[in-house]
Amino acid sequence: MANQFNECLKRYQLTVFKEEWGALQRGIEKESLRVKPDGLISLSPHPKALGSALTNPYITTDFSEALLELITPVSRTIDSCLQELENIHRYTVQNIENDEILWVTSMPCPLRNDTEIPIAQYGKSNIGKLKTLYRQGLHQRYGSLMQAIAGIHYNFSIPDSFWESYKTHRKFEGSIQNFKTEKYLHLIRNFHRFSWLLAYLFGSSPTACKCFVEGREHDLTELDKSTLYKPYATCLRMGSLGYKSEAQESLFVCYNDLETYVECLGEAIKTPFPEYAKIGHTKDGKHQQINTNLLQLENEFYSTIRPKRNVENGEKPLEALTNRGIEYIEVRALDLDPYSPLGINREQIHFLDSFLLHCLLAESPDCNKDEFFEVANNLTLVVNRGREPNLLLSSEGKQRSLKDWSMELMRDIEHSACILDNVNQSNEYSISIVKQEEKVNNPALTPSGRMLDQMKSENLTFFEFSMEHSKRHSRTLREAKIDEAFLEHMQSISNKSLLDQQDIENSDSIDFETFLEQWNNF
């Protein structure tokens, strides 16, 4: 084992990897729609028992009042992270309306018409109104149906104790924060190169309800009376049906250095876009969007991964990155796993940690425009045809089979898995690699393959499949007993968040019109 560990260190030109460096810091943000017993999206407001969606650090909303977002605090172990997520789930399902359940698939339930999906509300404060207006702008630009899609965001960072030694080892001249920023961008470039692998391994959205594409152009095939699909699709959520924007298709965002990245997005936020100008700022005296530019905010840029920094009061995300550098990365390419009550499981997290550590430690050449669009095309191919036999992808202009390339990557990621196993006195990281290799060799073992096989063998529509799993998982979580200390903590946090929202509303010193003008001009 010692020899194997040393070989793995050599792969990344390391001489040591200390035990405390293996305490990776992770957090999960999990989205889920609240739905009624008939499977239709709930029209009820965000439950007061869950506190304020503006200020509760654990439970908020995404696009819609019905689209919950559950957020774990930062955890240094996988067990504690999943336990936090489970506890927050339990508290949530036991404090929504008794007849409501959480929808467990990424593609949404049968939806009412686009205008009936309730946009999230955040109160009377200027920042709360801005958050709602941003979502109103998304509705105007892309429609509410697309925004009802749910996913998992995985936040990841390396312990502080790692960076000083690694900086010395890499002979980096400059501050620790500049080194961390450079290496997180290094990770992001590699992640983009290989993100198609995650779509293949964990994509769980090969189907959609017919109502989801009603009135829209699509190339899906009918599976049954109410379900559309693509036979070899893995992750339609990440394709043209999901988080895609035609306006952004030509946008080249470069991750070679932070200044260029911030400049790319900053320019997009300031660049007028004719189609959005047609919508206008206001209609019948009501605001329609924050501005008429290509992006209202940096968060509107649809990416599989983002560099992140916790913002201070009144600070914009790009400002925070510019002022203090990258703190962690946010993976945004993950579907909800319908077979897991939490939408994600231990095996997946073990692989994600190995994958991300590999992306950080392995060589990562600068990106360029040709590669940027080649990478995007690879992801599109896997999203739509990932389980297709003999599917070919492109690497530096040369075709490679998905299977061969996947196995080559697995053998390389084994090095980071071995390192994490060694410092955590575990074998679960290496086992997670073996499990993913089985999926590469047998596409039927992928979540998308399992879903379609079950739907076909049991003659289930997408709606019936999703309802069956949603009811089962919600029942499991609703019936589970919540730890008394955690229950008291969540009730306290929820009550405090309502007071915090009132404080923010009472502290506003200017009207919203002035606030919005200052926001757009800053």
Residue-by-residue pLDDT tens, the chain, 522 positions? 567 999 999 999 999 999 999 999 999 999 999 999 998 999 999 999 999 999 999 999 999 999 999 999 999 999 999 999 999 999 999 999 999 999 999 999 877 677 789 999 999 999 999 999 999 999 999 888 888 999 999 999 999 999 999 999 999 999 999 999 999 999 999 999 999 999 999 999 999 999 888 877 889 999 999 999 999 999 999 988 776 667 777 788 889 999 999 999 999 999 999 999 999 999 999 999 999 999 999 999 989 999 999 998 878 999 999 999 999 999 999 999 999 999 999 999 999 999 999 999 999 999 998 999 999 999 999 999 999 999 999 999 999 999 999 999 999 999 999 999 999 999 999 999 999 999 999 999 999 999 999 999 999 999 999 999 999 999 999 998 899 999 999 999 999 999 999 999 999 999 999 999 999 987
Whole-number pLDDT of residue 243: 62
**Coil, helix or strand at residue 14:** coil
- Residue 486: other Cβ atoms inside 10 A: 15
Distance of alpha carbon 414 from alpha carbon 437, whole angstroms: 11
Q: What is the pLDDT of residues 390-420, one digit of tens each?
A: 999 999 999 999 999 999 999 999 999 999 9
Name the strand (E) or helix (H) holding 446: none
Distance of alpha carbon 50 from alpha carbon 460, whole angstroms: 34
Question: Of 102, 31, 43, whose CA–CA distance to 71 is shortest?
Answer: 31
Torsion of CA 360, 365, 367, 368, to 10 degrees: 180
Question: Of 176, 183, 179, whose CA–CA distance to 156 is shortest?
Answer: 183
Whole-number pLDDT of residue 116: 80
Q: How far is CA 90 from CA 57, 75, 140, 268, 478, in A?
A: 16, 18, 34, 40, 6
Question: In the chain, how many domains are there?
Answer: 1
For the four alpha carbons of 137, 141, 146 and 152, in that order, the dihedral sign comes to negative
Q: How far is CA 512 from CA 129, 280, 290, 307, 361, in A?
A: 8, 18, 12, 30, 46
For 128, what's the count of Cα atoms within 13 Å in the CB-facing half-sphere? Answer: 22
- We report the CATH number of the domain holding residue 140 as 3.30.590.20
**Coil, helix or strand at residue 464:** helix
Alpha helices in 425-461 (DSSP H): 428-441, 447-457
- pTM comes to 0.96
Where in the sequence is the domain holding 207, given as residue range(s)?
Answer: 2-521
Which residues in 335-476 belong to E strands, given as ranges?
392-395, 398-401
- Residue 481: other Cβ atoms inside 10 A: 8
CA angle 107, 109, 114 (to 5 degrees): 95
Whole-number pLDDT of residue 244: 63
